[in-house]
Every structure is written in structure tokens, then in C-alpha cells.
Amino acid sequence: MMTREVTEIRQIHTLILGAGPAGLAAAYALAKGGRPALLVEREKVSGGLMRSLRRGEFIVDIGRKELYTRIPKVDALWKEILGSDYVSYWHRQGILYEGHILESSRAWGGVLRGMPVGMLFACTVDYVLGFLKSSFFKPRNYEEYWYGRRGRKLSHVFAQGYEEKFKGVKWREMPPPVEDSDVADPLAPKHSSERKERIWRHPAKGSGQICEILEKYVRDAGGQVLFEGRLVEITASAKRIDLIKVAVGSETVSYRPEHVISSIPIELLGRFLNRSLHFPDSANQKGAATTPSGGRSTVCVYLFLDEPPRFPHVWLRVTCPGIKAGRVTNYAALSQAMVPEGKTSLCVEYFCTASDPLLSFDDEALRELALSECAGSGLIDPDACLDSFVLRLPGANAATNWRDWASEPMRALLKVLGELENLYNVNRPGTDKATYAGLEAAEAILAGDRQIFDKEMSLTLPASAYLP
């Protein structure tokens, strides 16, 4: 297709790159402040990994989606736009190991967490042996460290298999922590926010409902969303972004924005800006120009069944090493509006490294694998399967967090980006953190005070952003 470049340079107040939760939150806040923005989105729909998918009577999310209420400003936004559709649910997590579903929390299964007697006995013996061995031998790796503190069997049942799939690294290949305080207990809740969360809520019609409402408000207020927009060029001086070229279909348009809010991957933004800014070596080292995903991908296999759910948990961590799946999400436990009564919708997630053979499987092979593993674990009756589909997410690393962005090259790149006075980088790991960044960027623009954004926007966020 021939691309026709429009020579006219269009002046614009705010250009937002990416119509995911951060970009849409920023556009919503700007629209409420009387400054409608232009959003450029490379996909055909908004929402990014927060969008929802509709399949007949079913509504599903992209894998497991948990909306933390730990940031009051973000929780207030979701309450404001969702109203009664911001429904609560029981945050019950399970462990799938060798056909047994155990409880992740003592709140449901007590101290034993639902372990059968034989498994409990084996865990107890291994715990004692591990403790005795650790008294005489220094651990050589992460595996030996936890075997010495929790025992081999207990580590297998509650953590190791899932953690290795989720992070893509074997415990025996990881060094032991230098100090006990340097590492979180893998048998405990996975994040501090999960322990502090008071009430768990979810949009009644899937996480994408938030993005759909935000997009509608932005459009109704005079904002624009350009779908299938391809970023062609970013021209910048030492202190500002001067020009952004965007291709939509056969037309390329140049924009001169007063403000730019970017929610696109930092490494992609950096590559475009480096063409005109020529970053110093510290920001160009290997690691700053590559994705924090580390070359990993996620494959989601969705199963729709004509039978009620066989387990009440919102999701299961699969620790069993004989099963390739890493996690199973049960959407019926999130909201009754997402799954018809008497039916089941599951998402079976596979966390893949760049060399994982699963990435070469076709959709039918992946479907058969998911059906076989779920049926073999007693989670479903494969004959009750009404429908299925496969969603491949190349570059999506489910284990990404702020620590993956804390390398020196990445920090050097972030420093360079932060020196552009009209650029607000709101790309963050975590839906609530990204949304918060978008809101803060909009507030700074409306107030004409860049320091509002800079003060709040470290990688970890200040303590003042969270619930007390």
C-alpha cells in the first residue's frame, strides 16, 4: 500500500501514545478538565492487555486480571465510572498439585490448607530433614535455600513448579539470597498488596469495561482515538519533543504537540527518540534498548464448558511439574455477568521462554493440551467443552515488575526521557500504577506544573499514593 504523507503540520495540545489503561485515564482526566486529547493506538481496539473479549454469551479478560484498590485515586476513578458494576468477589486462590486443589491461604483451609494426610506426612518429614541438613551445609542455590527452610516436598507442593514456570528460571539456577530479608517467602501471598487488600472488586463485565467507558467519555467530550495508528517518527530537541509522525492507513500526518503522554513500551519510545537525541552510551547499553519481558511470551487457551465450575477459586497456581500450564483462571468466580449460570469459562495460561516448543504448537494442539491437562486434574469434563480459542501474546511477560526496570541502562534511559519537558512517560508495570501515572500526567498538564508529575512518578511510587 502506498503511503501518502500530508505536508500540513497539525498543532495539537496533547498527543497520547497508546490507548491502554494509562493513556485512557490521562485522556479522561484531560477531557474532564476541558482539554480533549488525541490518542494514537496501534491495535484495532483500546484497552491493551486490560481489554476484555466476548465469545457468544461469555466475557473473559486477558488471562488473570486483579484490580488492586491500594491506590485511593485509582480506586476512586473505577468506582466513579463503574458504579454498581464495580462488584466484589471472594479472592480465593488455589494450588493445583498432582490432582489435588489446595488452599493458598489459611483463611480457607486452615493451617493444613486442605492437604491429604499422606502429603502432610511427607511434607513434615522433609521439613525436618531439610532443617537438619541446613544446619550443616551452606545452600549453593535458591533451591537448596528453600529446601533447608521449608523442606523439599512442601516447596514442591506450594511454590516451586509455579514459580519456575512463571519466572522462566529454575530454582537451582538462581543464587541463594545473601540475607533472609532479601527474599520473599514463595509459600506466602505473592505480593504485599495481596495481604493488605481489604475488598477485592472487578468490573461486572470484565476488566475491559473500564476502558470502554473511558473511551466513550473521551469521544463524547471531543477527544479522538486513531486506531491502527503506526508511529513513524519522533523528532526532538534537547528539551522537547517537536514533531510526531503517525501513519493511519495510507496517510501519514505530522503533529506538533504541546504535550506528549506516552504509555508505549519504554524501549520502543527510546529507539524513536534516539534517532534525533543520540543518547549517551549508558542509555544505549544492551538491556536499555530491549524489552523488560526478557524475550518471554504468554499463551492463553480459553475453554468454554456446558457445566458448572468444579472449583470455587478465582484462579489456581499450577505447581505440579508434570503439567505445562502455569495458571488457570475461573471467570465464573469473578462475576456472574461474565459467565452464564451453570456454565464455566477457564483461561489456561502457559508462560513461555523464547525457545519454548509450545510456541510452535498450532491452535488445535494447544487446545488439546489444555483440555487434557485440565481433565487429567479433574477440573473439567472435556466432553462438556462448547468452544475454545487461543490467544498468543508475544513479548508479554506475566512476571514483569518494577525490579525488571531497575537496571542501570534502563535507569539511564528513564533519566534521558525525564529531561524532555513536554514528555510524560506513563508506562508502568501494573494496571493500577499505570492508571495512576496517567492521572498524574493529566493533572500536571492541566495545572501547568510539571513537578506534580515528576514528584510522584518514581518506578515504585511514593508511600503517599497508597492506602495507609
Domain ranges of the chain: 4-65+206-291+401-465, 89-105+189-203+293-399, 115-180
- Matching CATH number, 89-105+189-203+293-399, of 3.40.50.1000, 3.40.190.10, 3.90.660.20, 3.30.1330.60: 3.90.660.20
Question: Range with the lowest mean pLDDT among 111-120, 288-297, 404-413, 443-452?
Answer: 288-297
Higher pLDDT, 466 or 419: 419
Average pLDDT over the chain reads 88
Higher pLDDT, 334 or 456: 334
The DSSP annotation for 234-249 comes to EEE-SS-EEEEEEEET
Q: How confident is the model at residue 130 (pLDDT cuts 50, 70, 90)?
A: confident
Q: How confident is the model at residue 163 (pLDDT cuts 50, 70, 90)?
A: very high
Q: How confident is the model at residue 458 (pLDDT cuts 50, 70, 90)?
A: low
Higher pLDDT, 414 or 332: 332
Q: How confident is the model at residue 118 (pLDDT cuts 50, 70, 90)?
A: very high
- Using the structure block, give the residue that is written with the C-alpha cell 484498590: 69
Phi first, then psi: give them for residue 304, nearest 5 degrees. -120, 125
Among 297, 321, 309, 333, which Cα is nearest to 96's? Answer: 321
Among 57, 52, 66, which Cα is nearest to 315's? Answer: 66
**Are the C-beta atoms of 244 and 63 separated by less than 8 Å?**
no
Question: Range with the lowest mean pLDDT among 45-49, 279-283, 288-292, 355-359?
Answer: 288-292
Average pLDDT in the 381-394 region? Answer: 96
Q: What is the dihedral of CA 266, 272, 273, 279, to 10 degrees?
A: 80
For the question of whether the overall pTM of this predicted structure is more than 0.95, the answer is no
Second-level CATH architecture of 4-65+206-291+401-465: 3-Layer(bba) Sandwich (3.50)
pLDDT at 468 (0 to 100):
47
Pure H helices in 172-301: 192-196, 208-220, 266-277, 281-284
Q: How confident is the model at residue 111 (pLDDT cuts 50, 70, 90)?
A: confident
Among 266, 246, 269, which Cα is nearest to 256's? Answer: 246
Q: How confident is the model at residue 389 (pLDDT cuts 50, 70, 90)?
A: very high
pLDDT at 194 (0 to 100):
44
CB atoms within 10 A of CB 260: 23
Q: How confident is the model at residue 278 (pLDDT cuts 50, 70, 90)?
A: confident
Among 380, 348, 388, 342, which Cα is nearest to 364's? Answer: 388
pLDDT at 418 (0 to 100):
86
| pLDDT of 376 strictly over 90 | yes
pLDDT at 4 (0 to 100):
67
User: What is the distance, to the nearest Å, from the Cα of residue 403 to the centroid of all Cα atoms in its chain?
Assistant: 14
pLDDT at 258 (0 to 100):
97
Average pLDDT in the 146-155 region? Answer: 93
Among 89, 339, 74, which Cα is nearest to 214's? Answer: 74
Higher pLDDT, 175 or 458: 175
pLDDT at 69 (0 to 100):
84
**Are the C-beta atoms of 319 and 162 separated by less than 8 Å?**
yes
Burial state string for 173-212 with b = 16 or more CB within 10 A and e = fewer than 16: ebebeeeeeeeeebbeebeebbeebeebbbbbbbbbbbbb
Q: Report d(CA 70, CA 467) in Å as an integer.
A: 5
| Helix or strand run (H / E) with residue 346 | strand 344-352
Helix then strand then coil, in percent of the chain rounded to 5, is 40, 25, 35
pLDDT at 195 (0 to 100):
45
pLDDT at 3 (0 to 100):
60
pLDDT at 406 (0 to 100):
62
Q: How confident is the model at residue 288 (pLDDT cuts 50, 70, 90)?
A: very low
pLDDT at 142 (0 to 100):
94
| pLDDT of 16 strictly over 70 | yes
| pLDDT of 160 strictly over 80 | yes
Higher pLDDT, 468 or 328: 328
Q: Which amino acid is at 230?
A: R
Higher pLDDT, 397 or 433: 433
Q: Exposed, middle or buried, 131 (CB in 10 Å: 0-12/13-18/19+)?
A: middle
pLDDT at 186 (0 to 100):
64
For the stretch 74-104, pLDDT in tens is 999 999 999 999 999 999 999 999 999 999 9
